Chain A
Amino acid sequence: MDKSKVLELVSLGEHIEVLYVEDNESVRDATVSILKKFFKNLHIGENGEEGLNLFKENSINLVITDINMPKMDGITMATKIKKIDQNISFIMISAHNEIGFIKKSEEIGIYNYLYKPIDLSILVETALDTIKDMREHKVLEHECS
């Protein structure tokens, strides 16, 4: 793991609002401990429905979500969120057994994903990439408007 990248993520992560959704309790707790190191503003949901509600009640910048969940799965939730605000960034988390999730994600414009069990260095890299993309987009937007 690259120390500089870790510090960079810590610095960038301070100012963004993150939504994390995961149905499995132990996985969720473990991941939350890690995410909290980077993201001071972390909202936690247990399923797609809850995640959607949390999104509506807060101004979220980045959604990190599991795909396979009860009540509403990750892709469905992402689709609905995008309908509300298409500029939200996503990182999908897959357990390796979801067929075709990459294609489904790409169909709704999501290109970043992680595999479970989460490898910390990959998480750092992916998060950095996603956040940088988001900022670029924001700058463009800012410039355009």
Chain B
Amino acid sequence: MNVHNTYYSTDEELEQFIDKNHILHHESILLQIFTGVCNKEYITELIQKIKILIPHVKILGATTDGEICEDQVTGSKTVFSFMLFDSTKIITSHATGKTSKAIAQNLIQSFDKADEINLLITFTEGLGINGEEYIKIFNQFNSNLVVAGGLAGDNGEFNQTYIFTEEGCFDKGAVGAAFYNPDLIVNTDYNFGWENIGKVMTVTDAKDNVVYTIDNLNARAVYGKYLGQEVMERLPTTGVEFPLIIKRDGMNIARAILAANEEDGSLTFAGNIQTGDKIQFGYGNVSSILHDNKNKYLNLDNQPTEAVFVYSCMARRRLIGSSISAELAPLTSLSPLSGFFTYGELYHDKKRKTNELLNESMTVLTLSESQTDCKNIRYKKSNSDNNLSYTVRALSNLVSVTSHELQELNESLEYKVQQQVQEIEQKQSQLIHQSRHASMGEMIGMIAHQWRQPLSAISGSTGLLSIDLMMDNIDKEAFQKQVDLISKHSQFLSTTIDDFRNFFKENREKSITTLKDVIEETLTIIAPSIESKEININQEYHCHSNINTYPNELKQVVLNLVKNSIDILVEKEVHHPSIWIKVYKEEKECCLEVSDNGGGIKKKYIKKVFDPYFTTKEKRDGTGLGLYMSKTIIQEHCNGSIEVENGDYGAVFKIKLSGTEDRT
């Protein structure tokens, strides 16, 4: 096949061009037109003119954001690329539709024997279409079908694009040229060149082509966080240099930002992004893009090539600027080359057998009817003096490695913390369990103590009654007396149980009480122990404020403190053993002091008394948990404080609670 490219200037020059190249003689002709003149009338007139000159021509065209002819890049001009086929049938078509998917479906269905198509070059409207949804339809149709082309442009006006065939000029939908030739050699490749930089992030909320959050942070803010305020504020312009790179199936696909919403922090892209996509920032370094020649266009090297078409991205042209033609240079050695800058590139990946929408990429399509005409790409010698690209790569590497290390560190830390927390929670619940256990043990001990005497009395009464019965000594009055005694003692047994039950019931809710009530109720429970040991209890109440707290929990704390005092007084066999309980107000806080004349706590222990498992009791019933639980109750449940110091005669425990009203 033959390819002839030219710029359109005048009708006469066009006629001459057609003559010179014997274009008319060929039966199968496809004329691709890339024009920067976004004017419907102009285009329609052009089509008419050409049809007069070449009645049987097939036309496929689009408006652009820049035209390519060989190694020249222009804007607002018109490029003609005539393809003269020997063995390929060409059919062109136009399709519209309600959705992007519908347009693609309608287009492919408009072709006869669509399953025999080897290559489809298609241009779509530039603005209203979702390129990704459009191209994915072709994947479903036939994964071997090579799709190439792009979204039409309009010189960055974002106003109105046009696509056309020989049938006319259209502002909506898509046009396509289907190539029928089983022996047609088609190769594709693309150049991107942006480097991945920074940590891998996850899209946490996206719909179609709008991303709301990344790593659960507002998308626009993520740009601000990692790339700085300036970049964020100048989105979407700065988005060209820093697109998002999505990692999908081993391929890095760029997505350019079309718009940034200040209000909801969302970013709109030129292609769909899904929730769950792994992304990174891309950094476009012009030098490295232009001068890195390694591994470029490998798919196209040493392949039969008779025509080269470049569908590149307007973002690239705008970033790289006037040096853009340097990108094209290596390819011009292959064959006649033409193309244009699109608003989105359509690319076929042969290895993965899929068609993708790319952004910010330069896609290249080569064709050949001949099987043997192999061409080589003339790679430019890479500029080893290019310190800038070396530097950028080094920095990029630094960022990447540091990010990675941080991520690993984070993960291992998170794991360690989780482990520790679990351990602590387990220990806590163990402690609470043990403490409850100890409490219950104590309670049972106290119940037993209180029950001994009444039980003994009941036993005595029944014994007497029994003996009288045996001796036939039945005195009604005596009987009644004993029966009453039994009844009275049984009552006492029952009351004891109730008292203890209430005392040890867990409080679910706070209620209002006074410290005096709490103390008196506690002393009732512990009274037998105190009496039997002949310990003196002194009570002083200077504050009668109501407090809103958990009464039973507080009673347990008082019980614990008083019991500790009793134990030390008994252990040391103190003469005139005494316990003082004082309630008073100190700066709006209710204070409760429990002190004894047991001699105090040794200096080296006094700081440790509230630690779990710490006990100075020699006997087996020192669990070491009483004061620890008391402190936990006071601090965490009752929102107060507890401290200890040595007074004149012994230890002094002081509890502070905040009151609610004053009753005094």
Q: How far is the CA of A116 from the CA of B456 in the complex (A)?
A: 9
**A: interface residue count bin:** 10 to 19
Residue in chain B with minimal CB distance to A123: B463
Q: B251 within 8 Å of A by Cβ?
A: no
Residue in chain B with minimal CB distance to A124: B467
Q: Is the CB of A34 within 8 A of B467?
A: yes
Q: Is the CB of B470 within 8 A of A6?
A: yes
Q: Is the CB of A27 within 8 A of B456?
A: yes
Interface of A is mostly: helix
The interface residues of chain B lying within 8 Å CB-to-CB of A26 are: 453, 457
Q: How far is the CA of A41 from the CA of B452 in the complex (A)?
A: 29
Q: Is the CB of A1 within 8 A of B471?
A: no
Residue in chain B with minimal CB distance to A2: B470
Q: How far is the CA of A23 from the CA of B412 in the complex (A)?
A: 71
Q: Mark B470-490, 1 if CB is under 8 A from A, else 0.
A: 110000000000000000000
Q: B434 within 8 Å of A by Cβ?
A: no
Cβ < 8 Å to B, chain A residues 1-46:
1, 3, 6-7, 10, 26-27, 30-31, 33-34, 37
Residue in chain A with minimal CB distance to B459: A117
In the complex, how many angstroms separate the beta carbon of B473 from the nearest chain A beta carbon? Answer: 8
The interface residues of chain B lying within 8 Å CB-to-CB of A27 are: 456
Q: Is the CB of B455 within 8 A of A117?
A: yes
Q: Is the CB of A120 within 8 A of B471?
A: no
Q: Is the CB of A120 within 8 A of B459?
A: yes
Q: How far is the CA of A117 from the CA of B463 in the complex (A)?
A: 12
Q: How far is the CA of A118 from the CA of B457 in the complex (A)?
A: 10
Q: B528 within 8 Å of A by Cβ?
A: no
Q: B466 within 8 Å of A by Cβ?
A: yes
> How many residue pairs between the two chains, A and B, have CB atoms under 8 Å in the bound complex?
38
The interface residues of chain A lying within 8 Å CB-to-CB of B452 are: 117
Residue in chain A with minimal CB distance to B457: A30
Cβ < 8 Å to A, chain B residues 425-454:
452-453
Residue in chain A with minimal CB distance to B467: A37
Residue in chain B with minimal CB distance to A37: B467
Q: B464 within 8 Å of A by Cβ?
A: yes
Q: How far is the CA of A7 from the CA of B467 in the complex (A)?
A: 9
Cβ < 8 Å to B, chain A residues 61-96:
none
Q: B460 within 8 Å of A by Cβ?
A: yes
A6, A117, A118: the one within 8 Å of B467 (CB): A6
Q: Is the CB of B470 within 8 A of A33?
A: no
The interface residues of chain B lying within 8 Å CB-to-CB of A30 are: 456-457, 460
Q: Is the CB of A31 within 8 A of B460?
A: yes
Q: Is the CB of B464 within 8 A of A37?
A: yes
Q: How far is the CA of A143 from the CA of B421 in the complex (A)?
A: 87
The interface residues of chain B lying within 8 Å CB-to-CB of A117 are: 452, 455-456, 459
In the complex, how many angstroms separate the beta carbon of A6 from the nearest chain B beta carbon? Answer: 5
Residue in chain A with minimal CB distance to B466: A1
The interface residues of chain A lying within 8 Å CB-to-CB of B470 are: 1, 3, 6-7
Q: Is the CB of A120 within 8 A of B466?
A: yes
The interface residues of chain A lying within 8 Å CB-to-CB of B455 are: 117
In the complex, how many angstroms separate the beta carbon of A80 from the nearest chain B beta carbon? Answer: 27
Q: How far is the CA of A3 from the CA of B473 in the complex (A)?
A: 13
Q: How far is the CA of A27 from the CA of B460 in the complex (A)?
A: 10
Q: How far is the CA of A119 from the CA of B466 in the complex (A)?
A: 13
Residue in chain A with minimal CB distance to B473: A37
The interface residues of chain A lying within 8 Å CB-to-CB of B468 are: 37
Residue in chain B with minimal CB distance to A33: B464
Q: How far is the CA of A7 from the CA of B469 in the complex (A)?
A: 11
Q: Is the CB of B463 within 8 A of A120?
A: yes
Residue in chain A with minimal CB distance to B469: A3
Q: How far is the CA of A32 from the CA of B468 in the complex (A)?
A: 15
Q: Is the CB of B456 within 8 A of A34?
A: no
Residue in chain A with minimal CB distance to B471: A10
In the complex, how many angstroms separate the beta carbon of B95 from the nearest chain A beta carbon? Answer: 104
The interface residues of chain B lying within 8 Å CB-to-CB of A116 are: 456
Q: How far is the CA of A118 from the CA of B463 in the complex (A)?
A: 10
Q: How far is the CA of A36 from the CA of B174 in the complex (A)?
A: 122
Cβ < 8 Å to B, chain A residues 102-135:
116-120
Of the listed residues A27, A33, A118, the one surrounded by the most CB atoms of chain B closer than 10 A to its CB is: A33
The interface residues of chain A lying within 8 Å CB-to-CB of B467 are: 6, 34, 37, 120
Q: How far is the CA of A33 from the CA of B456 in the complex (A)?
A: 13
Q: How far is the CA of A34 from the CA of B470 in the complex (A)?
A: 13
Residue in chain A with minimal CB distance to B455: A117
Residue in chain B with minimal CB distance to A31: B460
The interface residues of chain B lying within 8 Å CB-to-CB of A31 are: 460
Q: How far is the CA of A10 from the CA of B467 in the complex (A)?
A: 10
Q: How far is the CA of A31 from the CA of B464 in the complex (A)?
A: 10
The interface residues of chain A lying within 8 Å CB-to-CB of B471 are: 6-7, 10, 37
The interface residues of chain B lying within 8 Å CB-to-CB of A6 are: 467, 470-471
The interface residues of chain B lying within 8 Å CB-to-CB of A34 are: 460, 463-464, 467
In the complex, how many angstroms separate the beta carbon of B570 from the nearest chain A beta carbon? Answer: 14
Q: How far is the CA of A6 from the CA of B466 in the complex (A)?
A: 10
Q: How far is the CA of A85 from the CA of B453 in the complex (A)?
A: 35
Residue in chain B with minimal CB distance to A121: B463
In the complex, how many angstroms separate the beta carbon of A51 from the nearest chain B beta carbon? Answer: 22
In the complex, how many angstroms separate the beta carbon of A98 from the nearest chain B beta carbon? Answer: 16
Q: How far is the CA of A34 from the CA of B482 in the complex (A)?
A: 12
Q: Mark B513-540, 1 if CB is under 8 A from A, else 0.
A: 0000000000000000000000000000
The interface residues of chain A lying within 8 Å CB-to-CB of B466 are: 1, 120
Residue in chain A with minimal CB distance to B462: A120
The interface residues of chain B lying within 8 Å CB-to-CB of A118 are: 456, 460
In the complex, how many angstroms separate the beta carbon of B221 from the nearest chain A beta carbon? Answer: 76
The interface residues of chain A lying within 8 Å CB-to-CB of B459 are: 117, 119-120
Residue in chain B with minimal CB distance to A120: B463
Residue in chain B with minimal CB distance to A24: B453
Which positions in A face B, CB cutoff 8 Å?
A: 1, 3, 6-7, 10, 26-27, 30-31, 33-34, 37, 116-120
- Which 10 A-B residue pairs are closest in the complex by CB-CB distance? A117-B456, A120-B463, A30-B460, A3-B470, A6-B470, A37-B467, A33-B464, A34-B463, A30-B457, A6-B467
What are 13 contact pairs spanning A and B, CB under 8 A?
A6-B467, A10-B471, A26-B453, A30-B460, A31-B460, A33-B464, A37-B468, A116-B456, A117-B455, A117-B459, A118-B456, A120-B463, A120-B466
Sample of 8 further A-B pairs with CB below 8 A, known A7-B470, A31-B460 = A1-B470, A3-B470, A10-B471, A27-B456, A37-B467, A37-B468, A117-B455, A120-B459
